[in-house]
Each structure stands twice: as C-alpha cells, then as structure tokens.
Structure 1
Amino acid sequence: MTESLHTVTTMPTARQPGCPFDPPAELIQAREHGPISRFPFPDGHQGWLITGYDLVRSVLADPRFSSRKELMRHHPLVDYGEIEVPPAPPGEFLLMDEPQHSRYRKPLVGRFTVRRMRLLTERVEQITAEHLDAMEKAGPPVDLVTAFAKPIPSIVICELLGVPYEDRGSFQEHIDKFLGGEAGDEELIAAYTATQQYLAQLVAAKRAHPTNDVLSDLLDSDLTDEELRGIALILLSAGFDTTANTLALGTFALLRNPAQLAALRAEPALIDRAVEELLRYLSVAKQFHRVALEDVELGGHTIEAGTTVILSLNIANRDPERFPDPHTLDLRRQDGGHLAFGHGIHQCLGQQLARVEMRVALPALLNRFPTLRLAVPAEEVALRPETADIYGVKSLPVTWDA
C-alpha cells in the first residue's frame, strides 16, 4: 500500500527559541506525517526528504544511491541555475562511489581501528589535562569552545597527520571559515585555497622527511601528492569540526539537563552510554545528500533515476519508532544504533577517535570543575546557523566557583 505523501516546501533554517538541541520543528512535523516527504528544490528539481530511521539507514547502505559530487546539482536553500558541478578532487573520497571510494579509504582503515584509537587515550588525557590546567589558571569565565572544545580534537588530528603544532591555529581558522556556514563566497574560496596550498606544502615536507604519522605512512602507497592532499583535507576537517562541536554542544546540553549531569558525575561508568546518547541527541552532522542512479522503490514510492534525496540524520535519530521518547536526553538509554556517524561504506572513518576524545574530555571537565555552569543566560549562547554543515555553538561562556 502506498503511504500518503507529505510535502516540505522549504528547508527550515531556524530552531525553536529556547530549544537549541532540537531540530527545526518543521522537520519533526514532517516525520510525524511519515518517513518520506516530497521536497521541491529552489531550482525546481523535485526531490525527496527522508526522515525515518529505517529508510535513512537503508539509503546509506544502498549502492543504487550515489555520493558523487558532480551529481549533487541541487542545493536545498539556493538556486544555482545551470552551473556544472565538477567531480570531487582526487582523494576527497566522501564525495565518491565505488571503486574510487575504496581506493582512498582502504589504506586508512587499519590506521583508525578501535585498538589503535584506544592506544591514543593516554595522549588525549594529557592534552585534555593541559587545557584544563590553563582554564583553571586563567580563572572564570572562559569560552569553552576556544579554551577546550576546539583545541583538543584539533591537536589530536594534527598530531595524527603530522601537522606541526605551530600551524594548528591557521588551519583551525580556515576550517572554521568553510564549514561555519557564515562566510561569504570570497572568504570560502580564500580559506579553501589557503588550506590546499598548506596541505601541498605539508605533503612535500613528508616526502622529503617522513615522520611517525598517518600521512607519512601513506607515502609507500601508489597515491599521488594531489590524492594525499585530498585525503588530508578530509581527515583534518572531519576529525576536527564534528568532535569540537559535539564536545561544546554536549556540555551545553548537560548543563541544561542537571539531572543527567548529576547522574554522569555520580556514575563514571555511565560515560560510554552518555557519549552514544549525546551523539544521537545532538547529531551535529545534520544531513547527507544522495542521488538515485536508477529507479528505486522506497517507502511505498518510486525514487526516479537522477533524483536527489536529502537524508535527515538528526530527525532519523529522533524517530519515535526507533528511539522511545526521542526528544529526551537520557544518558541511561540502551537503544543503540544511532546514525550520527552515518552508515554503510561512508560511515565515519574516525568515529572511534571521536568516542575516545569524548570519553576522556567530558568527565575530565566535569570532575575538574564541579560547579561548572553557564556564564550567560542559555538563550544568549551564540549558535551556529542551520546553514552550517555541522551544527554547534559559536561560543559557550562558562564559569565556576574559583
């Protein structure tokens, strides 16, 4: 039986006042109408919006839906007209299908295993302690984003890839520009160009003097310098921005849910479940796009070849058919299987690293500052716009009893 068809006429770009952790209300309402809706793109293309957990998961695992950049001609907010989109640059495998995707991802898989990432725990603990020491020495109030949430994953991923410490600041600034959702076209191009130029220099430096890092490990493969540069860009940006925003927004969510915060402080063993629940509840990587390569039956409807579908990960992770009471933050929740890291062949390569960083950093922060609290009213916390690829807070002023 074909389900009734709902249409979402425009992509919502604002969250409800006072509800910074909940997705836009219009998207939640779309899921209430069913797991799949029609979505007319601004350029006139008739696409689809997928909000149901099961359907999102199935599309992510279905090779009949493509991730190729050159097929992604339709933007949910902007009509770009007849502009031709080029294929993804060499190495940027998130925007590729098989077999190109595996050519780049396969050499990396062994370097991001659960075991290898857990071996990094001691170094993450050291970096975290150094930044907590600096926070304590500076005294309250501080911006938790710049003092804690950004530096920890930034340093870790830079060390993994062999980026010199002194270069971290400029790299972080450029990544913020082209992922933050607020830079103009000229700023975006300048930031992207500067990052590419830096990575070209970094790869050349590794060729001349290899060190003990992931990028140097890849020099023995048949990957070209251009391909290595593309891989480095994907790992640096993905390994920094998503974790930084989850750490900051996660702390904000805990401070706004004092009962959950108290439970985590009282039960340190709860941290594994807490991390998974924060990942589900926040879903900072909000949505992915896919393009049907052939006609596909999905949710009682035919997705025609060439049609773009928007996969709403944050709504799928709030699907009441998969997660009871989905809009409640519950650190004791036992329902696993969230899609915060995606699913299928493109599932986040660095997910275990993100988990290690969160498992270390959050308890350390809460233990060091038992009286940690917001330094401004919650409604004054500056949030990233919904147009940003990754959702989060721009700043999080916090204080404590010194």
Structure 2
Amino acid sequence: MTVTFAEAITIEDLERDPYPIYARLRREAPITRVPAANVWFATRWADVETIVKTPSLFTAEAADSPVERSFGCPTILTSEGEVHRDLRGGVEARYKAREVEGYIEGLARPIAERVLSELPPGEPVNLMDRYFEPVSALALAQTLGLEDIPAAVLLRWFHGLSQGAINYENDPRRHAICLDACAEIEAVLVPKLRQLSREPANTPLSHMLHFNMPEGESRPVEQVLPSVKVTLLGGMQEPGHGAGSVFVGLMQDRAQFDAVKQGGKDMLTRAVNEGLRWVAPIGTQLRTALEDTEIGGVFIPKGTPVAAILASANHDEARFRDPGRFDIFREDGGHAAFGFGKHFCAGRWFSVALMEIMLDVLFRAYPDVRLLARHEPSFHGWEFRMAPEILVSLRPAN
C-alpha cells in the first residue's frame, strides 16, 4: 500500500522545520489529513482564512483539542457564542489598542531595562532565556496583577503549559508535564481568584470573573481557570518568541538592522510584523467541521478536526513573494500570525508593542549587538516555533 506524503509526516519532522513540509502540502495536498497530528491540515492562505472566518461551517469548539485536554474547558480559544463572548470580554478590555497605548511604555520599558542591565557585559548571553522570555513573562504578569510572582516561576509555568498546548500527538509525557504546571498554577491562583470574586479589581483576572455578570455576582473560579491558563501561555509566549525571531532576522542582514535603528518606530513596527510573518510564534487555529463541506475542492466530513495552519498561510507563494526571506521592506500585505475571525488574538496590540519595546531597549543599549562568531540560531517547533538559543556578546557602544 502506497503511503502518501502527508501520511509519512512525523511530529519530529514538523518540529525540526515545518516550512518545507507546508510548501509541499500547499502544492500537492493543501487540505489533507496528517495522521501524526491527529488532525487535517489546511495550508493555503485562502483556505485558512475561509475555515477560520466561516463559523457556520467550522466551530472553535473541540473537546479533544490539546488545549482542552490539558487546561480544561471552557477556554477562550475553544468556545463559541455567549461563553466565548463573556470570556473574551473579560480578557480583552486591558489589551485593546488604545488601552495598551496608554500604559505599555510605563509598564514594559522599566522591566526590559532592568532585565537587560542584569546581563553580564562582554560575556556570552542567550538572549532568549535571559532577556526576551523573562521580559515577556514579567510584563504579562504585571498586566494581570501578578507582579509578585518571580520570572523563574512564570517561565516554569509557561514551559509546562506549552507542553500541553502543542500536544497534538497526545504524548503522555508532555501531558504529565503540563498537568504538573497546571497544579502549581492553580495552587497559587485559585486563592487570588477567590479574593477577586469578593473584591473586584481593575485587572483581566477580575474582569474574567465579573464581566457581564449581574451586580454582586461573579463566575465560578473553575469556569475561568482554563482561560487564565490560555492567557498566561499566549501572553508570555508570543511576544518573547516573536521578538527573538525578529532579532535573528535582523542579524542575518545588517542593512535591514541599520534601517531599523535609523528609521524610528515605523521601521521597528515593520520589522516586528515581518518577524511575525516569517516565523509565526503560534502556528495554528483549530476548527471542527460542523457538517459535510467542501473547501478548495476538498471534501471535509462532518466532525473533522482541521488545523488552519497560520504559519503556512504566512508563507503562501500566492500572497508573498519569496516568503522564506525575512524582508522588512516587503509590501505584500498583512500577516496571519494573530489569526482570523472573532477568535483573532485578543492580545495582538500588547504583543506588538511589547516586542517593539524589548527590541528598542536592546538596540539603544547595544547598537552594535551581534551574534557570537560562528553561531547561527536554529528554530524549533511547529505549533509554537522559536529560536531557543540566540547567543550574543553584549558590548556597549564606545
């Protein structure tokens, strides 16, 4: 029996480098079942957008999704209707564009400057685990009202949660790691959430409990806990890993790096959005077919789980010229890294603004920052993709 290309794909192949796999799927089988991941993949921009933006045909509800298996339900990612409206309404108030603009500088820049100042000048440093990830975690925690939790604890939670969210293959080892992290998170946050139920505050955690509830009432803590975990994971992961990808892209082309340093905020914003397109920190939006349907000429049976591959859409040759190249000057249009439709990332503006600040603080302090000689960062992951080692030697400008 002949094995198709999609049937031969392994999780290890995807985690090593999914982009050549996505490219071949776009050419040969743009919507197809990938057994290793227990879902179908949709890899072309047009199909990804259609699937995610057509809730009459595809629902975000997915009882067997990695997120619900690991975090519980309901979650902001895997709910619809009033449940989704109320969970998202509680989260997004603090992260709307105008709201973020009013607080992000005063919140994030001091954190970035402090973390950077603690790094040893002139010695090899991994910017990912010593700068980008800690700043991302601490900034997110402060917006949530969790500023008393150390970076090391936040990052332990983050890395544990991520093992559940990426676990499409249902690996028991990954599931156990995530459950341990969830238990630790609940031990710390359940008392805080119960207090917020009694004494509301102006934080997303409090809003999730009280948004759209009758006066004097709040949601059960257990109902919001799964979405709290989603918020912790996404809010810590996307800015830090995204900023790392931007940095790697700029280090590959010093002319683009110089253009960013000389071009002010507009060029930095361009670089951030290009980095998010080039290496999407979060790779998919998961949907389930509500009925038998046909997309892009492919029949999809009712009940089929379909991963709309945002990372592949961002490399679709029909939309982007030379998509594998990091190019801050491209004029191809927007990216899909934050998803589509009503489940579009609620933290988009916070993420972009935080990425800009992390990079700006770094470039102001070390305008000639470079990768260590003979060090070429490599990326890992497909659902969450990042460069785990970005080695530099930080030398102040003369």
**Normalising by structure 1, what TM-score?**
0.84
Distance 2:262 2:70 in 1: 51
1:109 counterpart = 2:92: yes
SS of 1:92's equivalent in the other structure is coil
Distance 2:102 2:284 in 1: 31
Q: Given residue 39 of structure 1, which amino acid in structure 2 is its aligned partner?
A: R
1:29 counterpart = 2:29: no
- For 1:102-149, what per-residue CA distance to the aligned partner results, in whole angstroms no more than 9, with x for missing partners? 1211233333211001112322222222223223x5543212123210
Question: Is contact 2:62–2:287 with CA below 8 Å preserved after alignment?
Answer: no
Q: Which residue of the partner structure matches residue 393 of structure 2?
A: 399
Distance 2:69 2:325 in 1: 42
Unaligned runs of 5+ in 1: 1-5, 76-84
Distance 1:190 1:227 in 2: 20
- Residue 194 of structure 1 deviates from its aligned partner by 1.5
Unaligned runs of 5+ in 2: 168-172, 214-218
Question: Is contact 1:12–1:27 with CA below 8 Å preserved after alignment?
Answer: no
Distance 1:153 1:401 in 2: 23
1:150 counterpart = 2:133: yes
Match of 1:288 among 285, 288, 311: 285
Question: Is contact 2:116–2:131 with CA below 8 Å preserved after alignment?
Answer: yes
Distance 2:157 2:95 in 1: 25
Question: Is contact 1:14–1:24 with CA below 8 Å preserved after alignment?
Answer: no
Structure 1 vs Structure 2 CA RMSD? 2.9
Distance 2:34 2:317 in 1: 26
1:50 counterpart = 2:42: yes
1:251 counterpart = 2:247: yes
- Residue 97 of structure 1 deviates from its aligned partner by 2.3
Q: Which residue of the partner structure matches residue 129 of structure 1?
A: 113
SS of 2:316's equivalent in the other structure is coil
SS of 2:63's equivalent in the other structure is helix
Instruction: Say if 1:109 and 1:400 are closer, same or farther in 2 by CA, change over 3 A.
Output: closer
Q: Given residue 32 of structure 1, which amino acid in structure 2 is its aligned partner?
A: R
Question: Is contact 1:60–1:344 with CA below 8 Å preserved after alignment?
Answer: yes
- Residue 30 of structure 1 deviates from its aligned partner by 1.7
1:298 counterpart = 2:295: yes
Match of 2:58 among 59, 62, 65: 65
Distance 1:385 1:396 in 2: 16
After TM superposition, the structure 1 = structure 2 runs for residues 297-316 of structure 1, keeping only pairs within 5 Å, are 297-316=294-313
- Residue 256 of structure 1 deviates from its aligned partner by 2.0
- For 1:304-328, what per-residue CA distance to the aligned partner results, in whole angstroms no more than 9, with x for missing partners? 1112222221111011111122111
Distance 1:318 1:384 in 2: 17
Instruction: Say if 1:281 and 1:186 are closer, same or farther in 2 by CA, change over 3 A.
Output: same
Distance 1:326 1:10 in 2: 25
- Residue 219 of structure 1 deviates from its aligned partner by 4.5
- How many residues are aligned here? 377
Question: Is contact 2:277–2:335 with CA below 8 Å preserved after alignment?
Answer: yes
Distance 1:367 1:284 in 2: 25
After TM superposition, the structure 1 = structure 2 runs for residues 224-239 of structure 1, keeping only pairs within 5 Å, are 224-239=220-235
- Residue 42 of structure 1 deviates from its aligned partner by 4.6
- For 1:186-231, what per-residue CA distance to the aligned partner results, in whole angstroms no more than 9, with x for missing partners? 3232112212222212212434555442223445443222223233
Distance 1:14 1:371 in 2: 36
1:173 counterpart = 2:156: yes
SS of 1:330's equivalent in the other structure is coil
Distance 2:10 2:366 in 1: 37
Q: Given residue 258 of structure 2, which amino acid in structure 1 is its aligned partner?
A: A
Distance 1:391 1:151 in 2: 17
Distance 1:234 1:289 in 2: 14
Distance 1:88 1:241 in 2: 16
Instruction: Say if 1:374 and 1:203 are closer, same or farther in 2 by CA, change over 3 A.
Output: same
Instruction: Say if 1:294 and 1:277 are closer, same or farther in 2 by CA, change over 3 A.
Output: same
